[in-house]
Amino acid sequence: MKRMIVLGQPNAGKTLFTLNFAAYLDLESVTINFTNYERGCYSKTLSIAEAKSLLVSDTAHHTRDIQTLTLTLPWGKGEKQFELVDTTGLTDGINHDEEIRRAMAQTLRFMRQADIIFHLLDCARIAKVGLLKGIGEIDYQIAQFGQLKRGYLILANKIDLPNAKDGLEKIIQEFPGNRIIRISALTQKGFKEVKNYAKKLL
Amino acid sequence: MDKEEIINLVENGEVTVSEALSRLRKAYTGTDKTKAELTQNEKVMAVKKQLDSLIGLHSVKELVNEVQAFVEIQQRRSALNLASEPVVLHMIFKGNPGTGKTTVARIIGQLFLAMGVLQKGHLVEVERADLVAEYIGQTAQRTREQLRRAQGGVLFIDEAYSLARGGTRDFGKEAIDTIVKTMEDQRNNLIVILAGYSAPMEAFLQTNPGLRSRFPIVISFPDYSSFELFRIAEQMLLQREYQLTKAARRKLLRIIEELKERDTENFGNARTVRNMIEKAIRKQAVRLVNIPNASRTQLMEITEEDIQEVSDV
């Protein structure tokens, strides 16, 4: 099974994107496999709405487990399954919280094994705080690492917010030569393109 | 640096995630690039590093180094139009089972591929049954088929003395003749390695005096010491991302020592150790299968109770 991983800074919208993407593929409930450093693996089945209220939050580093969803895409006359992996936000600098460091290390481990990387960037934030603060060293490193993979896609998120266009322009400027899709994890805008891209690479 | 180690640095808060990513990328591209972009020298160094990473086998490493240096110098001499010795690289490997003969043969294939002596550098492992046929006239054909497969690489004949087993009327002789003939014809693109236990190998060479001169390089593989075997076990576990607890380390070393003492004749060396490790991994799996949320550490750890003697030594 091919594995797609969602990476990005905290609050880029990784978890919301993951869940809404599952909803977009006509799923009413999802079975999520949680991988936690200390507690090991466990799985839970939740409805999309439940999952959103439980897992999505405005605070940074809300996601501390690796959350793996198995999704199905129509493929010719049949269908194909793939894993979508939601991860802990990666930050610059060394985090003082050991739990977060472990979660980030776990993210890197999953990233090693992933086939396709979805790299989420927050357009609205980049427009607001500017290039230097908005796009971190970490984003450039993810982009470089992405070149080693079968697929690497930049998802310019939060395009529904005002001023997001400015952020998008900066992203296009900073990551030339990469495929960039503008999306809104909230309104599901651009998901069709993401789906088509994923289908092409599966 | 190992990729897992890089990630562990993040966990311990020693490097930033960005730094780790950049190192990871280098670790990946470093190995990916080798094939296309490295010079001959770098390729040779990479293979030699692989050889050096084998535990023990000091005399073997030394000899392989000698041969490699010799070949390289002959190449350089002929580049400068100096008289160069003909390079005959056919070899004899003597040693007990599980002493690393096949592993070294595989590395030798890679080494001479990197040096441009061989075109493919692959290893074809054969034994008597692959070479000798039942009826007259078929043996040469079958042997030639194997030689053709090994073209550009290494033909590794395990228990080579079995070719001389059945006396003068056995077809094994025909196989030997075919191999020797082909070796002479295509000296440059095939390495033949005869492998087997020391004593029967010696007897085999004595009864076929012509062979000794055609296989000028003789490498003896000594038995591993018990500590070397222990280190091999540890390395195997590490490669599979397992680790031993302190008690387990003690128990493993003790069992290896006991086994070695008890039955030096039939002790399978690294092979026995590998069986033990595989057994331990299965034991650990059984122990953990009913603990649904076993932690990462638990999943990596091999404890004392997992380690057991394998019965079929």
Inter-residue contact B276 to B233 (CB < 8 Å): yes
B residues 273-312 lying closer than 8 A (beta carbon) to A:
292-296, 298-299
User: What integer pLDDT is reported at residue B36 of this predicted model?
Assistant: 46
Residues of A in contact with B293 (CB under 8 A): 39-42
Fold of B226-306: Helicase, Ruva Protein; domain 3 (1.10.8)
Quick check: B16 and A90 CB within 8 A?
Answer: no
Query: Which chain B residue has its CA at the smallest distance from A108's CA?
Result: B7
Q: Domain spanning B40-221: which CATH class is it, in words?
A: alpha beta
Residue among A185, A187, A104, A116 at smallest CA distance from A145: A116
The amino acid at A100: I
pLDDT at A75 over 90: no
User: What integer pLDDT is reported at residue B33 of this predicted model?
Assistant: 47
Q: List the domain boundaries for chain B.
A: 3-37, 40-221, 226-306
pTM, entire model: 0.56
Least confident window among A101-105, A143-147, A187-191, B27-31:
B27-31
User: What integer pLDDT is reported at residue B266 of this predicted model?
Assistant: 67
Q: What angle do CA B260, B157, B112 make, to 5 degrees?
A: 100
Separation between Cα atoms, residue B16 and residue B20, nearest integer Å: 6
Residue among B197, B182, B238 at smallest CA distance from B55: B238
Fold of A2-201: Rossmann fold (3.40.50)
Three state DSSP letters for chain B: CCHHHHHHHHHCCCCCHHHHHHHHHHHHHHHHHHHHHCCHHHHHHHHHHHHHCCCCCHHHHHHHHHHHHHHHHHHHHHHCCCCCCCCCCCEEEEECCCCCHHHHHHHHHHHHHHCCCCCCCCEEEECHHHHCCCCCCHHHHHHHHHHHHHCCCEEEECCHHHHHCCCCCCCHHHHHHHHHHHHHHCCCCCEEEEEECHHHHHHHHHHCHHHHHHCCEEEEECCCCHHHHHHHHHHHHHHCCCEECHHHHHHHHHHHHHHHHHCCCCCCCHHHHHHHHHHHHHHHHHHHCCCCCCCHHHHHEECHHHCCCCCCC
Residues of B in contact with A145 (CB under 8 A): 21, 24-25
Q: At residue A6, what are phi and psi to the nearest 5 degrees?
A: -105, 120
Query: Which chain B residue has its CA at the smallest distance from A103's CA?
Result: B11
Reduced to 3 states, what is the DSSP secondary structure of residue A35? Answer: strand
User: What integer pLDDT is reported at residue B34 of this predicted model?
Assistant: 39
Separation between Cα atoms, residue B127 and residue B130, nearest integer Å: 6
Q: Which of A87, A100, A141 to substitute to test the interface with B, most B CBs within 10 Å?
A: A141
Q: Give, as one character, the DSSP assignment of residue A59.
A: S
Q: Does A102 touch chain B (CB under 8 A)?
A: yes
Separation between Cα atoms, residue A51 and residue A36, nearest integer Å: 17
Q: Does A10 touch chain B (CB under 8 A)?
A: no
The per-residue pLDDT string of chain B (313 residues; one tens digit each, 9 = 90 and over) reads 678 888 888 888 888 888 888 888 888 776 544 344 567 777 888 888 888 888 888 889 998 899 889 988 988 888 888 888 778 889 999 988 888 899 999 999 999 888 888 888 899 999 888 888 888 888 888 898 889 888 889 999 998 888 887 666 778 888 888 888 888 887 778 899 999 988 888 888 887 778 888 888 899 998 888 888 898 998 889 888 898 999 999 998 888 888 888 776 667 788 888 888 999 999 999 999 988 888 888 888 999 888 887 765 4
Q: List the domain boundaries for chain A.
A: 2-201
Q: Does A100 touch chain B (CB under 8 A)?
A: no
* Token reading at A14: 């990784």
User: What integer pLDDT is reported at residue B47 of this predicted model?
Assistant: 87
